[in-house]
């Protein structure tokens, strides 16, 4: 292994999760154990802030702040959706890459960690290839993060377990509420959850179902083309027997022709734009309109990806471990890899971390296997339950002040800029 000494840079990218900051805590805590990593820097707002040379000194942050990262939602370093796009904007991309390596060189960055989903791992991969090409000694490790749980090769993604836990709990709570209101007239509740192409999040609400007749009674997955008549028949049958029906809808629900169910071009808003009403609201309209059953909808939106107050303790521990494993891998001389979670057994649940080449990850989407979904398509089956159950285990205790959580806020002591401003 080459001896490599220099500074560490960590940044976050894409939509935040309830535990993305736990991974940053893992990076920082582990890095302190490695003398080769002299400076510990954070890049603000992902790659975008690094391009602007917006770096902060993480060694000057309080120990209590680092500790509190474990229960702080949002991206404590800030995040972005910026993509270095060699295909669509090759000139801009080449320019960005030059600038990135100027920043790396100016601050002697030799260890780079990027926490994110598909796009972010793609960015990390491109930076790795570029470092090799430029013969710039730097070790790049990706840290997985996405509530969507759609990264390949890792058993699951940090962030998913907490969203699954919060959504399943919300489904249980809403279900007893609606169930207790149900009279002979019947009642229906529709809960829209995130997941544009993969249905992992919607599917995970199955964990609320302890007995076969328990809610959620129907789960509409983006993977299964939406058969409206079969759905309405099922709602009617559930309401007839149980007086109420709870439906969970993945926001990316598709029509049989592959178009998105929520995009209704026939409805325009006050400005003449087509209304993206949300799949949940449209499903609720369908039930109310066709079955005349009183129906209420809920759209959890961002609330489901930042509910640190009900995070999964398993998820927090895994997110932390992924950050730490990334640092250990880099210290051992590895590069161009993403940390993955490896399940060694389901019951009792045992896991460890592993490494996977970034080129295997970038831009590959991992969907729910069809044989993890019931034949009628309205529910994941016991294979999915066995997979998802351990990921929501364990409660966290979030420090409170005045009845509300206390979050970590970085002081963000900026490093002095060494380069001219970005062109």
- Only one of the segments 165-173, 326-334, 335-343, 362-370 lies at the binding site for its own copies (rule: CB under 8 A); that segment is 165-173
Judged by CB under 8 A, which of 87, 135, 257, 271 binds its own copies? 271
Judged by CB under 8 A, which of 7, 23, 65, 72 binds its own copies? 72
CB of 55 to its own copies, least distance (A): 17
Q: Exposed, middle or buried, 32 (CB in 10 Å: 0-12/13-18/19+)?
A: middle
Q: Which is nearer to its own copies, 298 or 338 (CB)?
A: 298
CB of 88 to its own copies, least distance (A): 19
Cis amide bond preceding 252, omega within 30: no
Q: Which is nearer to its own copies, 34 or 309 (CB)?
A: 309
CB of 71 to its own copies, least distance (A): 11
CB of 213 to its own copies, least distance (A): 13
- Only one of the segments 112-120, 320-328, 368-376, 391-399 lies at the binding site for its own copies (rule: CB under 8 A); that segment is 391-399
Q: In whole angstroms, how large is the CA radius of gyration of the chain?
A: 23
Map residues 93-132 to x or -, x wherever contact with its own copies holds by CB under 8 A.
----------------------------------------
Q: Which is nearer to its own copies, 5 or 350 (CB)?
A: 350
CB of 349 to its own copies, least distance (A): 11
CB of 3 to its own copies, least distance (A): 36
CB of 202 to its own copies, least distance (A): 16
Q: Which is nearer to its own copies, 169 or 367 (CB)?
A: 169
CB 27 within 8 A of CB 130: no
Q: Which is nearer to its own copies, 154 or 204 (CB)?
A: 204
Give CA–CA dist 25/17, Å, rounded: 14
Judged by CB under 8 A, which of 389, 415, 417, 422 binds its own copies? 389
Map residues 273-312 to x or -, x wherever contact with its own copies holds by CB under 8 A.
x-x-xx--x---xx--xx-----xxxxxxxx-xxxxxx-x
Q: Which is nearer to its own copies, 398 or 415 (CB)?
A: 398
Task: Give the contacts of 180 (CB within 8 A, at least 6 positions apart).
Answer: none
Q: Exposed, middle or buried, 34 (CB in 10 Å: 0-12/13-18/19+)?
A: middle
Site for its own copies in 170-199 (CB under 8 A): 170, 172-174, 176-181, 183, 189
Any contact of residue 270 with its own copies (CB under 8 A)?
Answer: yes
With contacts defined by CB under 8 A, how many residues of the chain interact with its own copies? 71
Site for its own copies in 314-353 (CB under 8 A): 314
Give CA–CA dist 62/339, Å, rounded: 27
Judged by CB under 8 A, which of 94, 400, 411, 419 binds its own copies? 400
Site for its own copies in 4-63 (CB under 8 A): 15-16, 45, 48
Site for its own copies in 76-95 (CB under 8 A): 76-81
Give CA–CA dist 388/314, Å, rounded: 12
Report the 10 Å Cβ neighbour count for 366. 18
Catalytic hit among 96, 119, 122, 148: 148
Q: Which is nearer to its own copies, 304 or 379 (CB)?
A: 304
Q: Which is nearer to its own copies, 131 or 253 (CB)?
A: 253
User: Among this protein's residues, is 57 annotated catalytic?
Assistant: no
Site for its own copies in 193-232 (CB under 8 A): 207-208
Q: Which residues are catalytic?
A: 148
């Amino acid at each position: 292994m080459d001896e490599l000494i220099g500074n560490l840079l960590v940044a976050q990218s894409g939509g935040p999760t309830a535990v993305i900051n736990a991974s940053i805590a893992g990076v920082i805590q582990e890095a302190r154990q490695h003398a080769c990593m002299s400076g510990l820097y954070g890049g603000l707002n992902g790659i975008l802030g690094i391009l602007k040379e917006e770096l902060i000194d993480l060694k000057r942050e309080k120990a209590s702040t680092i500790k509190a990262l474990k229960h702080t939602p949002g991206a404590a370093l800030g995040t972005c959706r910026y993509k270095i796009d060699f295909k669509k904007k090759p000139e801009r991309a080449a320019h960005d890459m030059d600038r990135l390596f100027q920043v790396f060189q100016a601050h002697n960055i030799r260890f780079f960690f990027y926490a994110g989903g598909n796009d972010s791992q793609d960015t990390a991969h491109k930076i790795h290839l570029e470092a090799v090409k430029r013969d710039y000694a730097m070790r790049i490790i990706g840290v997985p993060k996405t509530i969507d749980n759609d990264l390949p090769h890792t058993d699951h993604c940090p962030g998913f377990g907490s969203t699954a836990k919060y959504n399943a709990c919300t489904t249980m709570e809403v279900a007893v509420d609606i169930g207790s209101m149900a009279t002979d007239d019947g009642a229906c509740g529709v809960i829209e959850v995130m997941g544009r192409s993969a249905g992992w999040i919607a599917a995970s609400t199955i964990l609320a179902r302890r007995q076969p007749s328990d809610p959620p009674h129907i789960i509409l997955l983006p993977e299964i083309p939406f058969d409206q008549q079969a759905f309405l028949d099922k709602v009617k049958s559930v309401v007839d027997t149980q007086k109420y029906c709870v439906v969970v809808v993945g926001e990316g629900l598709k029509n049989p022709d592959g178009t998105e169910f929520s995009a209704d071009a026939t409805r325009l808003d006050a400005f003449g734009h087509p209304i993206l009403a949300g799949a949940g609201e449209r499903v609720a309209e369908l039930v109310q309109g066709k079955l005349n059953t009183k129906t209420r909808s809920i759209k959890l939106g961002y609330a489901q990806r930042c509910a640190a107050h009900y995070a999964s303790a398993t998820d927090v521990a895994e997110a932390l471990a992924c950050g730490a494993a990334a640092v250990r891998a880099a210290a051992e001389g590895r590069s161009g890899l993403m940390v993955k979670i490896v399940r060694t057994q389901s019951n009792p649940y045992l896991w460890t971390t592993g490494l996977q080449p970034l080129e295997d990850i970038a831009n590959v989407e991992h969907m729910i296997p069809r044989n993890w979904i019931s034949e009628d398509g309205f529910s994941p089956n016991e294979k999915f339950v066995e997979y998802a159950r351990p990921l929501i285990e364990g409660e966290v205790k979030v420090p409170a002040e005045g009845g509300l959580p206390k979050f970590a806020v970085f002081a963000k002591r900026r490093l002095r800029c060494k380069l001219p401003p970005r062109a």
